Amino acid sequence: MLAFDLQRFAGEKTERATPQRRREARREGQVARSAELTSALTMLTGVILLRMTGPKFWDTWMNAMTKSFSSAGSVDLAKQGQVLGLMHQNLRLMFGLLGPLFGAVMVVGAATGFAQTGPMFLPNLLLPKFSRLNPIEGFKRIFSVRGLVEAGKSLLKLVIVGVVVYAATQGVIDKVVMLTQTQVQTLPAFVGQIVFKLAIEIGILFVLLAFLDYLFQRFEFEKSIRMSREEIKQEHRNQEGDPLIRSQLRQRGRALAMRRMMQDVPKADVVVTNPTHFAVALRYDASTMTAPQVIAKGQDEMARRIRETARQAGVPLMENKPLAQALYREVEIGTEVPAELFRAVAEVLAAVYRLRDGRVRR
């Protein structure tokens, strides 16, 4: 039995996308990207930076609040300038403390997005698309495979957070009981330590999950831009043009080159023949050329046309089978004769010049 690849006939999209298809998808905003990876890395970065700068931030803020409350009695509430000055001072302090933190988080988020997609500027995606307001399409997206995957990821996140919180509280529950016998001043540091430990562990787990999500998004993206073999063939046809048109253009180009070549035959000094299979027209001008030049050549029918044109123009024909074959095979039209053929060509030209001089004397 003969085995047939049915996918060839069914138009199944089984082939990897071509570079042209990838560029088109990119122009439409279709790239492999995981929003989960960006949010997870920015969250983990923020938690780590806050853990590193938290004590300094807390001390600075508490000192500022203490100073503000201690001087509150000297502030005249009737004077708007004093109240606004105090507010501006506290706001500048807050922005000075939180600004670098927010800046670092934004840089990490931007770098993560850039690493996934590369440079992208697609202003057309900012335009509203009313097709997105279609409720039927919205339900299809919610209950599609992708929607189920997103719901599964959200549920998995909740489970992970619950497990991590439960494990962490089990490890410190004895210390929490002992806090009833400690001073109040130790509570913020203890609670902050537990919270940051939980946040970092959860952040690391979220980053791992987000990386898996990125791999899944790449798989889905590659799957979505696959092409059928017919689409690839059509793309090649569009890029290279219709084969029939290309063939016609090549034929026209050859015909034009042949006409130009035949127009140069009357300018030749001699036509070297095989005598019937090959014909090569040579021209030499000592004032402009360093060596004789092939201005026309042909085989069989084209050789016959060159000979006829030469006879009509009065160009002498010289039979030299080895030289005619060598010139036809080794020298292109418009190029000079190579050094190894100088001697044979010189003998032919010398014979032509002697013949021409003899006719002139008569």
119 pLDDT tier (thresholds 50, 70, 90): confident
Average pLDDT over residues 165-177: 69
How far apart are alpha carbons 295 and 306 in whole angstroms? Answer: 11
* Same-domain pairing of 285 and 217: no
* Same-domain pairing of 189 and 44: yes
* Same-domain pairing of 65 and 211: yes
* Same-domain pairing of 106 and 202: yes
End-to-end CA gap in the chain: 85
How far apart are alpha carbons 255 and 305 in whole angstroms? Answer: 14
Q: What is the CATH number of the domain that holds 306?
A: 3.40.1690.10
CA-nearest of 104, 212, 107, 196 to 157 is 212
Alpha helix ranges (H) inside 143-275:
145-178, 186-224, 229-240, 243-264
- 17 domain-assigned: no
* Same-domain pairing of 338 and 212: no
Sort residue 284 into left (φ over 0), alpha (ψ -120 to 50) or beta. beta
* Same-domain pairing of 326 and 271: yes
Is residue 98 scored above 80 in pLDDT? no
- 188 domain-assigned: yes
Q: What 8-state DSSP symbol labels residue 279?
A: E
* Same-domain pairing of 218 and 278: no
* Same-domain pairing of 217 and 303: no
Of 12-21, 66-75, 152-161, 204-213, give the lowest mean pLDDT range.
Answer: 66-75
pLDDT digits (tens, 9 = 90+) for 41-58: 898 888 888 888 777 777
* Same-domain pairing of 299 and 152: no
- 242 domain-assigned: no
Is residue 342 scored above 80 in pLDDT? yes
- 257 domain-assigned: no
* Same-domain pairing of 40 and 147: yes
Tokens of 109: 């988020």
Decide which of 345 and 4 is more confident: 345
Question: What integer pLDDT is reported at residue 272 of this predicted model?
Answer: 92
Instruction: Indicate the residue among 201, 226, 251 that finishes a domain.
Output: 226
> What's the total number of domains in the chain?
2
* Same-domain pairing of 272 and 206: no
* Same-domain pairing of 56 and 164: yes
2 pLDDT tier (thresholds 50, 70, 90): very low
- 291 domain-assigned: yes
Question: What integer pLDDT is reported at residue 57 of this predicted model?
Answer: 75
CA distances from 289 to 10, 254, 295 (A): 64, 27, 13
Please give the residue range of the domain that contains residue 301: 264-361
Question: What integer pLDDT is reported at residue 9 of this predicted model?
Answer: 43
Mean pLDDT of the chain: 77
Instruction: Indicate the residue among 226, 249, 273 that finishes a domain.
Output: 226
- Using a cut of 0.95, tell me whether the model's pTM lies above it: no
- 258 domain-assigned: no
Question: What integer pLDDT is reported at residue 1 of this predicted model?
Answer: 42
Tokens of 336: 């000079």
Instruction: Indicate the residue among 204, 226, 248 that finishes a domain.
Output: 226
Question: What integer pLDDT is reported at residue 360 of this predicted model?
Answer: 46
CA 253 to chain centre: 35
Sign of CA dihedral 121, 123, 128, 134: negative
